[in-house]
């Protein structure tokens, strides 16, 4: 299957009341693993990379790898830029073939967040690509980006932000956090309050560590996408770590990489099935 356009994926999920997982990949093995896990579950979702990943390779390489990973897949999967840091990253990913984009300017004051997101939206919408933006900021660690900020999304600012930016998805801060170091305390009442005023569906970042019951209640409240990064990275790193502990002389990277693909795929399949059960 080709990489699916983000709008088509969102409409498919809305039609079948699916909650879309967005799984962060960091390398070739994790990309193949996410495709494998979603395909085995026969459920849709996103493969996503953060701007940090662009230090490891290029948007073109990531698109080519994703295309190959999806060639025998029968479930709709989009390729998403997660936490896009700059307009240049956004352009490079759209030009390379990404089918969904996040521009994250939530660290800026409101008016600057609006201005930067609007600029990225205008570029992406010209190419028929949906845009996720963030209002409010999450605590925690995302790749090597650590944020101490923890300002919850203000429902009173949501409608104005969405209308002025033209974004298609809104990432919210309701007690969710990035990474596994801090215990998330999701405020479902606040999430519902935001969903009631938001003209677009909501996104929950920091999925790892949030109880599944909370995620399912979030789906009923208006979530369309939930991001998982740490849970998958942990499976990948654990595969190599456990092998090394067992036998420091082990160096069969091919066998270990194949095991890592199976372990990450199993985690992705488990997560997408549980949040849609």
Binding residues (CB under 5 A) for Zn ion: these are: 205, 227
- Token pair belonging to 97: 């073939």
Query: What b-and-e string marks burial along 101-130, b requiring 16 or more CB atoms within 10 Å of the CB?
Result: bbbbbbeeeeeebbebbbebbebbeeeebb
Q: Which of 89, 142, 168, 235 binds ligand G3H (CB under 6 A)?
A: 142
Q: Residue 63 or residue 138: which is nearer to ligand G3H going by CB? A: 138
Residue closest to Zn ion, measured at CB:
205
Task: Compute the distance between CA of residue 175 and CA of residue 1 in angstroms, rounded to an integer.
Answer: 36
- Is 206 a binder of ligand G3H (CB under 6 A)? yes
> Are 188 and 214 contacting, i.e. CB atoms less than 8 angstroms apart?
yes
Task: Compute the distance between CA of residue 245 and CA of residue 254 in angstroms, rounded to an integer.
Answer: 18
Q: Among 68, 74, 82, 104, which one carries the catalytic annotation?
A: 82
How near is the Cβ of 65 to ligand G3H at its closest, in Å? 19
Residue 80 binding target from Zn ion, ligand G3H, none, CB below 5 to 8 Å by type: none
Residue 208 binding target from ligand G3H, Zn ion, none, CB below 5 to 8 Å by type: ligand G3H
Locate tokens 């990277």: which residue? 253
Parallel/antiparallel/unpaired status of strands 169-172 and 202-204: parallel
- Is 205 a binder of ligand G3H (CB under 6 A)? yes
Region binding ligand G3H by CB under 6 A among candidate stretches 5-13, 25-33, 199-207, 234-242: 199-207
- Is 44 a binder of ligand G3H (CB under 6 A)? no
Q: Which of 21, 37, 136, 207 binds ligand G3H (CB under 6 A)?
A: 207
Task: Compute the distance between CA of residue 35 and CA of residue 15 in angstroms, rounded to an integer.
Answer: 22
> Are 234 and 180 contacting, i.e. CB atoms less than 8 angstroms apart?
yes
Query: What b-and-e string marks burial along 170-195, b requiring 16 or more CB atoms within 10 Å of the CB?
Result: bbbbbbbbbbbeeebebeeebbbbbb
Q: Is 189 a catalytic residue?
A: no
How near is the Cβ of 132 to ligand G3H at its closest, in Å? 10
Task: Compute the distance between CA of residue 199 and CA of residue 162 in angstroms, rounded to an integer.
Answer: 7
How near is the Cβ of 267 to ligand G3H at its closest, in Å? 11
Residue 179 binding target from Zn ion, ligand G3H, none, CB below 5 to 8 Å by type: ligand G3H
Size of the site for ligand G3H (CB under 6 A): 15
> Are 130 and 101 contacting, i.e. CB atoms less than 8 angstroms apart?
yes
If you ran DSSP here, which 8-state letter would residue 199 be given?
S
- Is 173 a binder of ligand G3H (CB under 6 A)? no
Q: Residue 1 or residue 108: which is nearer to ligand G3H going by CB? A: 108
How near is the Cβ of 22 to ligand G3H at its closest, in Å? 7
Catalytic residues: 82
Enumerate binding residues for ligand G3H (CB under 6 A).
Answer: 24, 82-83, 142, 178-179, 205-208, 227-231
């Amino acid at each position: 299957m080709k990489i699916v356009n983000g709008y088509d994926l969102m409409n498919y999920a809305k039609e079948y009341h699916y909650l879309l997982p967005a799984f962060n990949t960091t390398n070739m093995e994790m990309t193949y693993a996410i495709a494998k896990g979603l395909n085995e579950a026969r459920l849709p979702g996103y493969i996503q990379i953060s701007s940090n990943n662009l230090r490891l390779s290029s948007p073109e390489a990531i698109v080519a790898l994703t295309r190959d990973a999806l060639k025998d897949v029968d479930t709709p999967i989009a390729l998403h830029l997660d936490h896009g840091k700059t307009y240049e990253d956004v352009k490079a990913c759209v030009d390379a073939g990404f089918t969904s984009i996040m521009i994250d300017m939530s660290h800026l004051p409101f008016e600057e967040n609006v201005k930067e997101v609007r600029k990225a939206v205008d570029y992406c919408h010209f190419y028929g690509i949906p845009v996720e933006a963030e209002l409010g900021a999450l605590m925690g660690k995302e790749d090597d980006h650590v944020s101490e900020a923890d300002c919850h999304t203000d429902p009173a600012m949501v409608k104005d932000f969405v209308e002025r930016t033209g974004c298609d998805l809104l990432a919210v801060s309701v007690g969710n956090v990035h990474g596994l170091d801090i215990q998330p305390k999701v405020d479902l009442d606040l999430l519902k309050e935001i969903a009631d005023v938001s003209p677009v569906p909501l996104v929950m970042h920091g999925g790892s560590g949030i109880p599944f019951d909370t995620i399912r209640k979030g789906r009923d409240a208006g979530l369309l996408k939930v991001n998982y990064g740490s849970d998958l990275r942990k499976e990948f790193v654990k595969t190599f770590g456990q092998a090394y502990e067992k036998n420091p002389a082990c160096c069969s990277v091919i066998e270990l990489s194949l095991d890592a693909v199976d372990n990450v795929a199993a985690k992705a399949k488990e997560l997408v099935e549980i949040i849609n059960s």
